[in-house]
Structure 1
Amino acid sequence: MSIPSPRGRDRLRTALLSVAVAAVFAGLGGLTGCGSSAADAAAPPPPEVGVVAAEVREVQQWDEVNGRVEAVQHVELRPRVSGYIDKVNYREGQLVAQGDVLFQIDDRSYRAALAEAEAALANARARAAVARSEAARAQKLVELNAVSTEQNEQRRAAAAQADAEVQAAQAAVDAARLDLEFTRVRAPIAGRAGRALVTAGNLVSAESGVVLTTLVSVDPIHVHFDTDEATFLRYAGLARAGERPSERDAAVPVQVGLVNEEGFPHAGVVDFLDNRVDPATGSIRARAVLDNSDGSLTPGLFARVRVLGRGASEALLIDDKAVLTDQDRKYVYVVDAEGRAQRRDVRLGRVVDGRRIVEDGLAAGDRVIVSGVQKVFFPGMPVQAVAAADADAPAVARAD
């Protein structure tokens, strides 16, 4: 004897249930046939079920992922010269402009070194002037045969050497002036300054690489997020079909919301997609850039990210509460023209804020049972359909 398949067992079970319920109704009919008015009054009416018609709406399909807010620029501020910190010129946590002096290193030794270098430059220039004058006189005298050619060449070489010494002295002045400038540690970017990790009176060394403070840019700001391999391949397929911009195109819209916010109030665009899928996680890193002129997005915050999957399109929607599960199959009950409940196996898409996209199995206008479905014992059972409350929801689709 062969064992029936799971689908065969389902059909057998449904058939037996139908026979049992039919027998009950037949028995009630036999009682009424005997002329009993009490039995006729006790015959139950068809159960009442709430129905909502499947309808076609225009939906915007989005994918929802999790991400992190990150600064566009992050700088660890380090000293470029050694010395004692003379002054901290900013308030911790404040917004600073590019070029603001945040730390002042004691510059007295660097001022002295600059003065010494400038004096050496003046001395080199004086020697160079004398050497050039002697070389010019030697050139005139050699034309009168008053000096030898060898002496003339020596004076010309001495003048060239003096000019080189001037250049070296000038470079030393430039280096000393640069070191003096480095005693004023400036903000290389505009942003928010962190805690001062070195305070006034401490010795810092350029060789040690000590961090004085950190700076993060505020506006604009990035949101980093990962998308799975299947979603990435679907996006790539849509881009090839021309249904949405390429993943490399900065015009892909995103919406971002924080944990304390309703919905996704912050808008931006994708400006970067990594060049490889991580084989360990099967995901690929993407980045969005957003306006943050109000400073509401702080680096490090958790973010809910919604990425546009495709443009607006029409879809058949039903109430998600109407969907039932039978092992690996999804189905709903609909009320046909004769007032009977009929089972329809369906293929489902995404959730649209409480409503479900139906890709196959239903047609627009089908009356889908959304309440009282527990009263339906078998397909084909008579029911009394009444309109169920159906609050409109914005048609914005997300991945389920």
Structure 2
Amino acid sequence: MSLTAIALVAGGLFVGPYFFAEPTEAAVATTPPTVAVSAPVQREVNKRLTLLGQFSAAHQVELRAQVGGTLTKIAFKDGEVVRKGDVLFQIDPTPYENRFIKATAAHESARTRLELANIEAARATALQKNGGGTAQNADQKIAEQRAAQAAVDAAKADIRDAEFDLDRTRILAPFTGRIGTHQVSEGNLIAGSRAAASPTTLLATIVSTDTLYLNFDMSEADYLAFQRERLKRDNTFDGKVKIALADEKDFSHAGTLDFIDNTLDPSSGTIHARATVLNADGLLTPGGFARVQVPIAPASPALLVPDASVLPDQSEHVVLTVSKDNIVTPKQVQIGDLRDGLRVIRSGLEPSDRVIVSGIPVARAGAAVTPQDQQILTATN
């Protein structure tokens, strides 16, 4: 074999595979990418607001003494649930017991004087009628009788006052709730005041736990939408709302919207609202955050797609669909909230549209694709 022939054969061995491979790669490059498509899910969906709220206690009290003295006993453990009427703190009652004894003795003395005054007044009146006494003497005894009666009444008031103070040496739980840490220790001198006219000592704070408030704010637009829909239904909104805690995805808790403020805050453009939530299991805590869903319209037909199928487009949103000739066609949509992991589409899609639900990264607007049907799965499937 000649050198030229050998060179051609060798050249074929090295060059040939390159030329054979090039058409195959070109063929792969021109094959439309495969994407999964599905029609939007059709479902009855009620329009609702999803807002962020914060829990607060329905009842919260700072425990302060109404009488002063030395603290002799703390009858609870920090952070425990206490029942209405439980003794929480005890102030040394000795000075108040002494005052009560003195008031009781003064009342007995006043009662004795009143009995004597009654006898003398009756005797003076009888003598006057029989001509054995003067009218002046009778009037004087009657005046002494009235003064003795006033002294008895004052003594009774002193007893009630002393008893009031004695009772207030025991600080009781005003309602059932969870108490915080004690702010004073046994042996401390406590400052008290009945009307808080002078500085008083903070002993502890107690909050209710069986019922909590969930406070949240609605924007002016949301508030108007809510009010318009409620007026359409003749104010028949039952106030039921759904709640999801900070670590929850599902809105598994229930509450009742029972308060909307009477004015909008001009600085924030929002209005304050509040829902009442039962807390029988004690899971909820004042200060915690939660999301609340407020329905503002009855259920109506809606389309839903996977949230990943909704793409941001500057300030708008688009969904990629596949036309009848298998061309990627973006559609601008108005979106709602999430339902069972799917995004509500308020407008922009038709029930017959083929939405790209998988393979979005390889889909380009105006490019051809190979669609394959795939069912949209919800969180409940």
TM (normalized to structure 1)? 0.79
* Deviation of 1:350 (Å): 0.5
CA distance in 2, matches of 1:174, 1:347: 74
Structure 2: which 5+ residue stretches go unaligned?
1-22, 193-197
* Deviation of 1:47 (Å): 4.8
Bigger CA drift: 267-276 or 58-67? 58-67
Are residue 231 (structure 1) and residue 217 (structure 2) matched?
Answer: no
Are residue 259 (structure 1) and residue 246 (structure 2) matched?
Answer: yes
Task: Indicate if the aligned counterparts of 2:89 and 2:171 stay in contact, CA closer than 8 A.
Answer: yes
Report 1:172-211 matches (<5 A).
172-206=158-192, 207-211=198-202
Q: Secondary structure at the match of 1:236?
A: helix
Q: Which amino acid aligns with 1:237?
A: R
Are residue 124 (structure 1) and residue 115 (structure 2) matched?
Answer: no
Q: Which amino acid aligns with 1:138?
A: A
Task: Indicate if the aligned counterparts of 1:197 and 1:211 stay in contact, CA closer than 8 A.
Answer: yes
* Deviation of 1:373 (Å): 5.5
Task: Indicate if the aligned counterparts of 2:328 and 2:368 stay in contact, CA closer than 8 A.
Answer: no
Identity of aligned residues (%): 37
CA distance in 1, matches of 2:102, 2:333: 85
- How many residue pairs match? The answer is 351
* Counterpart in the other structure of 1:268: 255
* Counterpart in the other structure of 1:349: 335
Bigger CA drift: 354-363 or 299-308? 354-363
CA distance in 2, matches of 1:58, 1:161: 83
Are residue 90 (structure 1) and residue 49 (structure 2) matched?
Answer: no
CA distance in 1, matches of 2:316, 2:109: 95
CA distance in 1, matches of 2:311, 2:173: 61
Are residue 214 (structure 1) and residue 205 (structure 2) matched?
Answer: yes
Task: Indicate if the aligned counterparts of 2:47 and 2:295 stay in contact, CA closer than 8 A.
Answer: yes
Task: Indicate if the aligned counterparts of 1:330 and 1:347 stay in contact, CA closer than 8 A.
Answer: yes
Q: Secondary structure at the match of 2:280?
A: coil
* Deviation of 1:370 (Å): 3.4
CA distance in 1, matches of 2:306, 2:132: 114
Q: Which amino acid aligns with 2:292?
A: V
* Counterpart in the other structure of 1:72: 58
Compared with structure 1, are the counterparts of its residues 190 and 355 closer, same or farther at alpha carbon in structure 2 (3 Å cutoff)? Answer: closer
Task: Indicate if the aligned counterparts of 1:349 and 1:356 stay in contact, CA closer than 8 A.
Answer: yes
Task: Indicate if the aligned counterparts of 1:60 and 1:310 stay in contact, CA closer than 8 A.
Answer: yes
Q: Secondary structure at the match of 2:110?
A: helix
CA distance in 2, matches of 1:294, 1:199: 31
Are residue 301 (structure 1) and residue 294 (structure 2) matched?
Answer: no
TM (normalized to structure 2)? 0.83
Compared with structure 1, are the counterparts of its residues 261 and 54 closer, same or farther at alpha carbon in structure 2 (3 Å cutoff)? Answer: closer
Task: Indicate if the aligned counterparts of 2:336 and 2:346 stay in contact, CA closer than 8 A.
Answer: no
* Counterpart in the other structure of 2:353: 366
Compared with structure 1, are the counterparts of its residues 302 and 383 closer, same or farther at alpha carbon in structure 2 (3 Å cutoff)? Answer: closer
Q: Secondary structure at the match of 2:141?
A: helix
Instruction: State the Cα deviation string for residues 38-81 of structure 1 (Å, max 9, x = none).
Output: 99x95955554322113421124332222222111111111111
CA RMSD of aligned residues (A): 2.7
Are residue 63 (structure 1) and residue 59 (structure 2) matched?
Answer: no
Q: Secondary structure at the match of 2:202?
A: coil
Compared with structure 1, are the counterparts of its residues 328 and 157 closer, same or farther at alpha carbon in structure 2 (3 Å cutoff)? Answer: closer
* Counterpart in the other structure of 1:171: 157
* Counterpart in the other structure of 2:298: 311
* Deviation of 1:378 (Å): 6.0
Report 1:14-93 matches (<5 A).
44=30, 47-93=33-79
Q: Secondary structure at the match of 1:171?
A: helix
* Counterpart in the other structure of 1:138: 124
* Counterpart in the other structure of 1:112: 98
Task: Indicate if the aligned counterparts of 2:328 and 2:363 stay in contact, CA closer than 8 A.
Answer: no
* Counterpart in the other structure of 2:9: none
Compared with structure 1, are the counterparts of its residues 200 and 144 closer, same or farther at alpha carbon in structure 2 (3 Å cutoff)? Answer: same
Q: Secondary structure at the match of 1:311?
A: strand
CA distance in 2, matches of 1:60, 1:237: 15
Q: Secondary structure at the match of 1:234?
A: helix
CA distance in 1, matches of 2:252, 2:365: 47
Task: Indicate if the aligned counterparts of 1:332 and 1:345 stay in contact, CA closer than 8 A.
Answer: yes
Bigger CA drift: 221-230 or 302-311? 302-311
Q: Which amino acid aligns with 1:141?
A: L
Compared with structure 1, are the counterparts of its residues 175 and 331 closer, same or farther at alpha carbon in structure 2 (3 Å cutoff)? Answer: closer
Task: Indicate if the aligned counterparts of 1:244 and 1:311 stay in contact, CA closer than 8 A.
Answer: no
Instruction: State the Cα deviation string for residues 352-387 of structure 1 (Å, max 9, x = none).
Output: 3443333344322222333446666664x6654320
